[in-house]
Structure 1
Amino acid sequence: MNNFPSKSLHNAAPRQKEHENQKQETTKSHLQQDSETMSTPSNAAAPSSQPIIKPRIIIHGGAGNITRSTLNPAQYESYKTSLRTILASSADLLSKPGATALDVATHAVSMLEDDPHYNSGKGAVFTRAGTQELECSIMVSSGYRKRGVSCMLLRHVKNPIKLARELLIRGEEDDGGGAKDHCEYSGPYIEALAEKWGLEIVDTSYFFTQKKWDEHMKGLEKEKAGKGEEWEMKNYIPLGTCGAVVLDSFGTVCAATSTGGLTNKIPGRIGDTPTMGAGYWAEEWFEDASQPRTQMLYQAPPSSSLNKLSRGDIPGLLTDCLPITPPRIPTPASTLPNHINNKPSPIRHAVGMSSSGNGDTFVRMVAARTVAAKSRFTPNTSLSKALSWMTGPNGELQKSAGDRWGKVHEGVGGIIGIELVGTKGTVVCNYNCGGMYRAWTEEDGDQKCLIFRDDNYESGPEGWGVLGK
């Protein structure tokens, strides 16, 4: 069950119940038009009973120097158990009627934040000054005016990702609930708003874990002795983030990411997680079809309320009066003139990504947005292909490190993502380092979990610089 504060829903629960059936029927009638050319299995039920877009989810718990020398078998199994638990809970929520990518991604990342296995929320790494400064971001492919929101330098919000979600939703209000229409936030003022909105506030001691403190102290000692780089190569030092990318039945893709940053970063350092286009990205566009197919014209819905219902945005129903340009909704081909029906119809395309690794490299490369742009503007380039070009072995991220590759963590990282083309969603992931904690749902609903390239401990590289299969 989703455990977001009731205040964050803007007291929309009564209206949600009132419109629940209408929302599902409206959404079905709009999205079903996009699937008219899809084949239906002979043993399938009537088309009206089948989901138009199959929801998908992928989560990650970080990438980096994850090898058999830094991760023993017991730790390996512990991480996999954690990832499977979080994925199962999130996939169950995603299966509920009307579930949105925004809510499910927030749910998944909040669970990762609560788990000290990961470098976010409880278990975040320390700065050189012995403090913890949390960062997060969230972005949707369409549906909200801001599209994306990030927070940084947080020290008291228990679940930073819930604050990012709140800022995105409240962006539909005239004054953003006191946060205006900005996309990036930091410091005490925004934490005061979080408390005002009913998000859980904790003392800084909540985020402390002995393991991360020991890593912090040992790193400073080795650095002082001039052996900092050698120590980093021989130990798994949390580099970045945890995150989730979700595709819902409405076709919206949401990317959510949260982190404590780099171990022993200087106070005030900002990484890729809250930098739009660097560590996260989501967008939607429409492409011309290469082959003739049933035509859909995309036009504004008759009312903004209907539009919000079609994308599952219950909180947005309270702000219908805002001057927001609504997304386009397909009109059945039968209502169009014949000379229009003969033209190829536009194909809906959406992507979302969340990254992990050396954040400074991701910032310099504007990695996430560059991957999306390569997929969007290079002919016949899937998101998977573009992502591997950036974060796969010998990819652009690795090349950017030059002769420093393998000596420090520069250029290290990985990205998870989801691509929607028409009504088909595809989960993607690649990385250039020892391993990446990740779990996802297959198209048939099966749940998978990997840390190395293959599903066994022995498939992992023995040490730094030796990639898996």
Structure 2
Amino acid sequence: MGWAIGLHGGAGDIPLTLPAERRQLREAALRHCLGIGVDALKDKKAPLDVVELVVRELENNPHFNAGRGSVLTNEGTVEMEACIMDGNTRRCGAVSGLTTVVNAISLARLVMEKTPHIYLAFDGAEKFAREQGVETVDQSHFITPENIERLKQAKEANRVQLDYTQPIQNDVKKETPSADGDSQIGTVGCVAVDNDGNLAAATSTGGFVNKMVGRIGDTPIIGAGTYANNLCAVSATGKGEAIIRSTVARDVAALMEFKGLSLKEAAAYVVEESVPRGNVGLVAVSAKGEVTMPFNTTGMFRACATEDGYSEIGIWPSVQN
């Protein structure tokens, strides 16, 4: 047994033609956030603190679809959501519909720690944020030129979309990638386990480009996009509706609990057998210090490290020798 950490910056149809400068920015961010998490675990910080810390960094990076980089609704606004969960106690907190909160993941933790509830949304969540004194900004802070362009493309194609190239609604027309081949994909998340087997998971997202105002995805739903117990911690990414239908995160834990599968076996089964291809990726760690990062999409921005010295940063499937 030893510490382990996994994190993701979203899964989806990530083209192999993604320009190097775009790829390198995200890889550098993953490397930076992984280092922060590893240092925190080495300093004996609690996994719950570690996953919040890492996800805050990912939210603050405009190159991922959460926090500063959140994509826009069909009305040109942001509606952010997040969830955090402690494995030992199964205490959890979730928020949706945030428009001014800089770090949704920290507000989710406050819901867990400061209220008798699990989930707050929209005006109630915003009011709670003000009461707690968390950092807020004008909504314009989240409206980036890149996401304005993404929304424009989605509206022109009359689609709700996960990124530039992957439609959510059925349509016979083929959508073309953006001029620069960039994509804004999925979610951000982090899972961690310490030397004592304590586990935690955290996930945050801006949702889908051109989503209906009021739409809630898998991220804040316990057992769908986020879950942790005494066996494992899971953070999922991809198409929220498919992830909700398949209760992805909880099913990984359930296969370990009721079928006796290993973490890798359970995660692989859920990703390969339970969810249609092109819909999901996840990062997960076990109480034994294992880590896995499967996906059935073209790619997933991901990184992990374990106490025994293993580390990985990747986007597309690893080449097996």
Distance 1:197 1:267, change over 3 A: same
The yes-or-no answer on 1:169 pairing with 2:113 is yes
1:57 is matched by which residue type in structure 2?
Answer: I
Match of 2:163 in 1: none
Offset of residue 142 of structure 1: 1.4
Q: Give the number of the structure with larger relative contact order, counting CA–CA contacts within 8 Å between residues 6 or more apart.
A: 2
Q: Distance in 1 between matches of 2:176 and 2:112?
A: 37
Match of 1:59 in 2: 7
Q: Distance in 1 between matches of 2:149 and 2:172?
A: 15
Map residues 46-125 of structure 1 onto 2, 5 A cutoff: 53-69=1-17, 71-97=18-44, 99-125=45-71
Offset of residue 61 of structure 1: 0.2
The yes-or-no answer on 1:365 pairing with 2:246 is yes
The yes-or-no answer on 1:159 pairing with 2:103 is yes
Distance 1:232 1:124, change over 3 A: farther
SS of aligned partner of 1:223:
coil
- What TM-score comes out, normalization by structure 1 length? 0.63
For residues 255-281 of structure 1, give each alpha carbon's deviation from its aligned partner in whole angstroms, at most 9, with x where no partner exists: 000000011111000100011111111
Offset of residue 120 of structure 1: 0.1
Match of 1:200 in 2: 135
Q: Alpha carbon RMSD of aligned pairs, Å?
A: 2.1
The yes-or-no answer on 1:384 pairing with 2:264 is yes
Map residues 130-279 of structure 1 onto 2, 5 A cutoff: 130-143=76-89, 147-170=91-114, 176=115, 181-223=116-158, 230-231=174-175, 237-279=183-225
Decide whether the 8 Å contact of 1:219 with 1:228 is kept in 2.
no
Decide whether the 8 Å contact of 2:289 with 2:306 is kept in 1.
no
The yes-or-no answer on 1:450 pairing with 2:317 is no
Decide whether the 8 Å contact of 1:281 with 1:353 is kept in 2.
yes
SS of aligned partner of 2:174:
helix
SS of aligned partner of 1:164:
helix
Offset of residue 201 of structure 1: 0.9
For residues 339-383 of structure 1, give each alpha carbon's deviation from its aligned partner in whole angstroms, at most 9, with x where no partner exists: xxxxxxxxxxx211000000000111111112211121113x112
Q: Distance in 2 between matches of 1:437 and 1:183?
A: 29
Distance 1:229 1:430, change over 3 A: farther
Map residues 415-454 of structure 1 onto 2, 5 A cutoff: 415-420=282-287, 424-454=288-318
Q: Distance in 2 between matches of 1:236 and 1:364?
A: 28
| Structure 2: gaps of 5 or more residues | 160-169
Distance 1:233 1:192, change over 3 A: same
Q: Distance in 2 between matches of 1:228 and 1:159?
A: 38
Distance 1:236 1:227, change over 3 A: farther
Distance 1:365 1:122, change over 3 A: same
Decide whether the 8 Å contact of 1:282 with 1:353 is kept in 2.
yes
Decide whether the 8 Å contact of 1:237 with 1:263 is kept in 2.
no
Offset of residue 220 of structure 1: 0.7
Instruction: Decide which moves more: 115-124 or 76-85.
Output: 76-85
Q: Distance in 2 between matches of 1:396 and 1:189?
A: 35
SS of aligned partner of 1:268:
coil
Decide whether the 8 Å contact of 2:9 with 2:185 is kept in 1.
no
SS of aligned partner of 1:278:
coil
2:268 is matched by which residue type in structure 1?
Answer: S
Decide whether the 8 Å contact of 1:238 with 1:262 is kept in 2.
no
Offset of residue 237 of structure 1: 4.6
The yes-or-no answer on 1:397 pairing with 2:275 is yes
1:396 is matched by which residue type in structure 2?
Answer: S
Offset of residue 239 of structure 1: 4.3
Decide whether the 8 Å contact of 1:65 with 1:236 is kept in 2.
no
| Structure 1: gaps of 5 or more residues | 1-52, 171-175, 285-349, 399-404, 406-410, 460-467
Offset of residue 446 of structure 1: 4.6
Decide whether the 8 Å contact of 2:96 with 2:125 is kept in 1.
no
How many residue pairs get aligned? The number is 309
- What TM-score comes out, normalization by structure 2 length? 0.90
Structure with greater Cα Rg? 1
Distance 1:445 1:166, change over 3 A: farther
